[in-house]
Amino acid sequence: MEMDDFFGRPGSFNLSSKCLINKDFTFRYLSVVYVGVFLIGFLGNVFGLWNSFLNWKKWTCLNIFVLNLGVADLLYIITLPFFVSYYGNKGVWMFGYEFCRLARCLFHVNMYASINFLTCISVQRYLGIVHPMKTIGRFKNLRHSLYISILLWVWVIIQTLPNLLFTNTDKNDTYCYDSVIDEHLSAYTPYSMIITITGFFIPFTIIVVCYTRILLVLKNNKSVNPNVKRKSIKLVLIVLILFFLCFFPYYSFRNFNLFSRTWQLQGTCTKALENLYIAYQITRGLASLNSAINPLLYLVTNENFVSQFQKIKNKACLSRQ
């Protein structure tokens, strides 16, 4: 089970004579965060995808990757109302065993798909700015980006399938844990470490290298189009914010959490481990924010996004008059 539920059912649970943690913070915090992510992420991604389809004739490779990013976000966002209910009801899951496993799995699908497609976007920008002559004309051919997207979805499925081998709930219980039950902890921890390296640290390293080279070229090359330069810097900032705010804290504390649970089962309970529990819950909320931040990419990859949004805003203002 996850640290969120490790200390028992609603309220608190005395694991040993020394260990007592109140889960009310988790229930309140995640409920509020998930409501915000659902509202912002759903509206932002639906509007972004709708605007992209309106301008499908102008699509480039970058638009294909952003489109897949939006689909990955929506797959996760549609599960959030159920988790708002779950945490709002103090950890009581009312939607069945199979849907619990599916909903939890979609979170991991969203995380790995987001990271992979953000990596593709970063590499595409790197090639277009650092090696423009070698890639000229290639980004107009959408077939390559479609093939890459299919391969990435296959890779995401391969990364997340092992989650289905581990149990995070029982058919006759009313909980829906984010991680695995204690019986699977020893097998799940190595998998988590491996997937952190392949699913996060390697893509993160690629992105850092790409954006370091991009920023150097933009700084030293005075002939770069100012509009391209401005959009590229915005893209760098958005992606780095996503990684440092949403992904890095979550993957770090998720693994700390798994080790902490092992120590807890061995009878160890200290104030540091209690604080780690709180920190892990905070990073879970931060991880979900990626679905609310990703729509900002529509601003820097679709020229018509802002104008379409302004038209809707103006119509709304006129209807009130």
Write the pLDDT tens digit of every residue in 224-253.
777 777 888 888 889 999 999 999 999 999
**Neighbouring C-alpha atoms within 13 Å toward the C-beta of 113:** 26
Of 297, 293, 251, 258, nearest to 277 by C-alpha is 258
Mean pLDDT on 27-36 = 95
Give a yes or no: residue 311 inside a domain: no
Give a yes or no: residue 13 inside a domain: no
Rounded to whole angstroms, the Cα distance separating 287 from 285 reads: 5
Give a yes or no: residue 76 inside a domain: yes
Let me know: does 22 contact 106? Beta carbons within 8 Å: no
Q: Residue 188: which CATH number?
A: 1.20.1070.10
Write the pLDDT tens digit of every residue in 288-314.
999 999 988 887 776 554 454 445 445
Report how far apart the first and last C-alpha atoms of the chain are (Å, whole number): 54
Mean pLDDT on 83-108 = 92
At residue 14, the 3 state secondary structure works out as strand
Amino acid letter for position 154: V
Structural domain including 86 reads 22-295
Give a yes or no: residue 242 inside a domain: yes
> How many structural domains comprise the chain?
1
Give a yes or no: residue 142 inside a domain: yes
Give a yes or no: residue 168 inside a domain: yes
